[in-house]
Structure 1
Amino acid sequence: MTRYFRDFPARSGDRMLLKMEHYLEIYDEILAGWQGRDVSFLEIGIYKGGSLPMWQGFLGPASRLVFLDIDPACRDLALPGTLVEIGDQADPAFLDRVGRDHGPFDLIVDDGGHKMHQQITSFRHLWPRLRDRGLYIVEDVHTSYWPGFGGGFREPASFIEFAKDLIDRMHSWYTEDDAGFPLHPLAREIGGIRFHDSLVVIEKRLKEPPVSIAARNGQVTRSRRILEVRGRRSIF
């Protein structure tokens, strides 16, 4: 497994990089196949600019790297080959413009203000600008448990509760309650959701309704009956 992210702090320059240490091992694991790829990348949150060289060194030389921050001083932290946009990540008009001008993206990382309305608004407006097989990563979701950030334990307005709801939307193919739990469009778009300590990774995977297969003696049959049968108890 690559150690690019875990080894990067020892190679960092005079720009401060601020990350939870365990994120680096997670990134080495989930992003191993992305190293050296030419992609369209967006990160929310610049702070002291330490992540710009980190991502630039990891992704391919022809990658399009866009960084957002609310602080105008961050314009001066742009590196050759990167683009810095200044605006509020909770401003739908700003996010929509960034998506139109620079999307679609392959990889989006939200390391911005970490407040609930910021994380949720950013996801809602940037998810449509994420490409198929892309990843949407939200860092520092421990703030979902901090009232000062709009969170709290099982606070309905927190990003963690929002992400839990995405699990239901992903599984809404299988509803037996069309009124209370209808099929949601995100069922066709979310391939998987990974919850790590303080980190949520959402994979976009455009897909058709699930198919079950039965195979015997090399003969394979496919069916979507599992989505149509009601009053199920068990299929086994």
Structure 2
Amino acid sequence: MTYVAVALLLGLVILVHELGHFLAAKAVGLPVVRFSLGLGPVLWSRTWGGTRCCLSAVPFGGYVLLALAGEKDYLAAPLWRRIAFSLAGPVANLLFALCCYAAVYAVSPGEHSLAGYCVKPLAWTLGTAQAMLAAIPRLFGHAQELSSLVGIVAEGGRFVGASASRLLMLGGYISVSLAVFNLLPLPPLDGGKIVCDILVRCRAGLARYYVPVSACGWLALIALMLYATIQDVCRYLA
């Protein structure tokens, strides 16, 4: 059951991320045609306010599809709206991490204070983000240390055990990790989209490279995920 709890937690963190994008799009006036939790074939859907909300077959993923004809329509939207849309997912994850760490502080023994509910969770969140940033350069030289969703669930289950506070700590860690990873300036991640949007704004001729660069980024990301997954499966079956 512990591994199921970790898998559900991972799905919740992804939902928070995509919900951040969705709410930001609505707030800044970008039309959303589809909001999906999961990837692949649609298992269930319902339309609310012009947006088709879907539950798809592959649970660990999701997306917010804007009701725009293509990259030209997307790039025609004001830059600040596009940046707000891209930033909202990572920001939502950081806020979720703060909530997780605040809950850990609430159930921990010792003195509690109103200031503590703000300061300690913030310190834990910043510390986790700093550790993630420090670990990223190491991954380029030690690819064997990458973990896929399989590894996250397996190691997360071992870490959590039967402890609710550890499950909350893991939720904060995964959420911060997702935020930091998505803010890397690499297409098609949120940080990469922001960099590309700014570059296109500075030099309009770069717009023709927007789709090819994003496609190459997706291929590289899928290849990296497959490599990490195969590596984790071989490790745990050995």
TM-score of the superposed pair, with normalisation by structure 2: 0.25
Query: Higher RCO, 1 or 2 (CA under 8 Å, sep at least 6)?
Result: 2
From the CA coordinates, give the structure whose radius of gyration is larger: 1
Give 1 or 2: higher helix fraction: 2
Provide TM-score, normalisation by structure 1. 0.25
